[in-house]
């Protein structure tokens, strides 16, 4: 039996082992491990890649959203609109900022926030919208930005799945007030530990974020605001600088695999990702919808194929967020889709015969 794990980070490391080891060794030899030259250079390089003026390296993608909200002036009790079919960290960042998440249902086929449903959830307490470019698929930015302007709302883009994704030939993360990225190891651009970044064109937000990530210090031992310890470290920055040069190539490989999956599953009783002509989906995940999902997952698992669910329980139904009193049934599309989705392997190091085997087993189950 072929064994194909859902992800395989070892393959990437083995392919670039000498180069990665060299950049790590260089940091060790240099002896500067916190907010050094690699962090500074990576912030500049990633900002340039995205097409913005500023990048601020932080401790994780969750912290990127948390600090971004505070920098944008979100205060205790302010409401922040977002979706419930995201990873819990999106919402835990809202809680960390002492704000209140307000959930909007999703579009059934993009799995992103449904712009037509946002306005009815806006209240006098609403101060921001967090858009999640889920699975690497950009949100419909035009409609959302119009609403944000109408109601003077801050726009925070959660780009944890979407490094290099584009909407109307422009990188995600550059439309709102801030774009927030995670460099968790499995991301399209992943470190070997936690890490994140906030990008922006706003010089004042850039200044505030730099204070917030490092105890509110304008200079060492002089804190001018209450801040946090949330810094991207030198080793991770050095690794990410090397990997950034490969990101576009890796994304194209993901897109190629996704295209083969979609073409091969045509005509089957399965819903594949729907692509928007205005967007470039970078397929952090390839998420399908199938009937009798548990049977499908069991079949692929017994065939040696790793399958995950992203995400099995919407945040509004998680025990930790019962205090929000959002009843089951209040987000019907989110809840229905969460019972049907399954993620099959997609990463640049997948070999052609492995992709063919996955396709054959999916077809075998569905025919």
pTM: 0.98
Q: Which of the listed residues 244, 273, 297 is the one where a domain comes to its end? A: 244
Position 102 scores a pLDDT of 98
Q: What is the mean pLDDT of residues 129-156?
A: 98
192 and 55 belong to one structural domain: yes
Residue 2 domain-assigned?
no
Residue 4 domain-assigned?
no
The model's pLDDT over 130-141, given as tens digits with 9 standing for 90+, comes to 999 999 999 999
**pLDDT greater than 90 at residue 123:** yes
Residue 134 domain-assigned?
yes
Percent of the chain past pLDDT 90, that is, above it, reads 99
Query: Which one, of 85, 116, 71, 121, lies nearest residue 100 by Cα?
Result: 121
Name residues whose C-beta falls within 8 Å of residue 83's C-beta, 6 or more positions apart in sequence: 90, 103, 104, 105, 106, 112, 113, 132, 134, 334
Sign of CA dihedral 358, 361, 363, 365: negative
Residue 208 domain-assigned?
yes
Q: Which of the listed residues 244, 267, 300 is the one where a domain comes to its end? A: 244
192 and 287 belong to one structural domain: no
Q: What is the DSSP string of 273-286?
A: PPPPTTEE---SSE
**Rg, the chain, Cα only:** 21
78 and 154 belong to one structural domain: yes
**pLDDT greater than 70 at residue 1:** no
Q: Which residues constitute the domain of residue 278? A: 247-366
175 and 281 belong to one structural domain: no
Query: Which one, of 83, 191, 71, lies nearest residue 134 by Cα?
Result: 83
Answer yes or no: are the C-beta atoms of 177 and 72 closer than 8 Å.
Answer: yes
Name residues whose C-beta falls within 8 Å of residue 186's C-beta, 6 or more positions apart in sequence: 7, 9
227 and 263 belong to one structural domain: no
The model's pLDDT over 227-265, given as tens digits with 9 standing for 90+, comes to 999 999 999 999 999 999 999 999 999 999 999 999 999
Q: Which DSSP state fits 350?
A: -
Position 155 scores a pLDDT of 98
């Amino acid at each position: 039996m072929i064994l194909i794990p859902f992800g395989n980070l070892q393959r990437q490391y083995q392919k670039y082992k000498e180069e990665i080891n060299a950049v790590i060794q260089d940091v060790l030899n240099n002896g500067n491990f916190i907010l050094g030259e690699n962090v500074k250079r990576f912030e500049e390089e990633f900002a340039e890649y995205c097409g913005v003026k500023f990048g601020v390296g932080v401790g994780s993608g969750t912290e990127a959203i948390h600090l971004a909200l505070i920098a944008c002036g979100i205060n205790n009790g302010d409401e922040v609109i977002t979706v419930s079919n995201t990873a819990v960290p999106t919402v835990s960042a809202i809680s960390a900022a002492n704000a209140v998440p307000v959930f909007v249902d999703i579009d059934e086929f993009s799995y992103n926030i449904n712009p037509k449903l946002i306005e009815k959830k806006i209240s006098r307490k609403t101060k921001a919208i967090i858009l999640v470019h889920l699975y690497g698929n950009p949100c419909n930015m035009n409609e959302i930005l119009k609403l944000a302007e109408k109601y003077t709302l801050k726009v925070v883009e959660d780009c944890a799945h979407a490094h290099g994704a584009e909407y109307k030939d422009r990188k995600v993360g550059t439309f709102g007030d801030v774009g927030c990225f995670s460099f968790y190891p499995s991301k399209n651009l992943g470190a070997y530990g936690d890490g994140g970044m906030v990008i922006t064109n706003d010089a004042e937000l850039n200044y505030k974020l730099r204070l917030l990530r490092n105890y509110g210090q304008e200079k060492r031992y002089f804190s001018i605001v209450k801040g946090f310890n949330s810094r991207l470290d030198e080793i991770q920055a050095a690794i990410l600088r090397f990997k950034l040069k490969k990101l576009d190539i890796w994304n194209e490989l993901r897109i190629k695999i996704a295209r083969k999956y979609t073409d091969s599953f045509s005509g089957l009783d399965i819903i594949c990702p729907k692509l928007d002509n205005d967007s470039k989906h970078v397929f952090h995940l390839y998420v399908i919808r199938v009937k009798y999902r548990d049977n499908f997952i069991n079949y692929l698992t017994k065939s040696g194929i790793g399958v995950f669910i992203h995400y099995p329980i919407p945040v509004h139904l998680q025990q930790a967020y019962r205090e929000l009193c959002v009843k089951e049934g209040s987000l019907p599309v989110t809840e229905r889709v969460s019972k049907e989705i399954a993620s099959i392997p997609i990463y640049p190091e997948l070999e052609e015969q492995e992709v063919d085997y996955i396709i054959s087993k999916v077809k075998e189950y569905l025919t």
